[in-house]
Amino acid sequence: MTGMHGKALRVAALAMVLASLAACATAPADPAARAEFERANDPIEPFNRRMFAFNLWVDDNVGKPVAIAYRDNVPKFVRDRFRDFYDNFQAPVTFINDVLQFESGRAAETATRFWVNSVFGMAGFWDVAGQYGLKKHKEDFGQTLAVWGVKEGPYLVLPFMGPSNVRDTTGRVVDSFSNPISYFLPPVGAWLELAGGIIDRVDERAGIIEQVDELRRTSLDFYAAVRSLSRQNRESEISNGKIKKPPLPGEDE
């Protein structure tokens, strides 16, 4: 078992404990308060707020400074090559979930993109397929569970990982085991999974530095704002974009 798989199982164990605590949470007796309680889907909010504060401290002291250094010192050309390579590396996971969601057209598109970019894009460092109109998309097992009708479960804030829920945490664990490249090319595949995942998070954070700062500055309750945005964003991903993603401050509608 790789370190990535062990970490995923620990996350799953934590999620199970938190879900058990959520199941024991008591809804308010007042009808209006109960309606808000159910809408937020956050029965362990006191714990989640503490975890959110911890993650915010980590971001302020590690995540954001590293993301700024990455953005300001790594040439955009290099960042783009990494982004294309890592997206291609994760394509088998998307393909598997396309199939599980019975999205045959999207599965064929993902398989074609992976083949074209792996062969003609130098192992995926260039998105050649995208230049010919084959647009990339991402799917994960959390989305697959949603398509199958599995409810999201209570809102969770995971250490270092941020907003999630029981369904998506389960999906994260399954996805960590589902990339065949990790098995066909050990230990290189496992190393790419771990190192690539870390750089991917840094690259993602580097792309929203100013937007997050503005959201934090203008929010009356930053925790509640992030909770709302993350849940809406997830609904958009599950619907394959039919539900529009909420824009961050400074982004175009």
Domain ranges of the chain: 3-22+45-207
Picking from 142, 191, 195, 199, the residue whose alpha carbon sits closest to that of residue 12 is: 142
pLDDT tens column, 114-152: 999 999 999 999 999 999 999 999 999 999 999 999 999
Residue 211 has pLDDT above 80, yes or no: yes
- φ, ψ for residue 165, nearest 5 deg: -155, 175
Contact, 79 vs 73, CB < 8 A? no
pLDDT in tens, 165-202: 999 999 999 998 898 988 877 777 788 888 899 999 99
d(CA 218, CA 227): 15
Model pLDDT for residues 89-100, shown as the tens digit of each residue = 999 999 999 999
Residue 199 in contact with residue 71, Cβ under 8 Å? no
DSSP state string for 152-213: --SEEEETTTEEEEHHHHHHHHHHHHH-HHHHHSTTHHHHHHHHHHHHHHHHHHHTTHHHHH
Distance CA 85, CA 103 (A): 24
pLDDT at 75: 97
Query: Tell me, what's the pLDDT at 182?
Result: 80
Q: What does the alpha-carbon distance between residue 201 and residue 204 come to, in Å, rounded to a whole number?
A: 5
Q: What is the mean pLDDT of residues 37-61?
A: 91
| pLDDT, mean over the chain | 88
pLDDT of residue 18: 57
| pTM (2 d.p.) | 0.85
Model confidence band, residue 10 (pLDDT cutoffs 50, 70, 90)? low
Lowest model confidence (mean pLDDT) among 22-36, 62-76, 99-113 = 22-36
Q: Is the pLDDT of residue 78 over 60?
A: yes
192 vs 220, higher pLDDT: 220
What's the chain's length in residues? 253
Q: What are phi and psi of 129, to 5 degrees?
A: -60, -35
* 250 vs 113, residue with greater confidence: 113
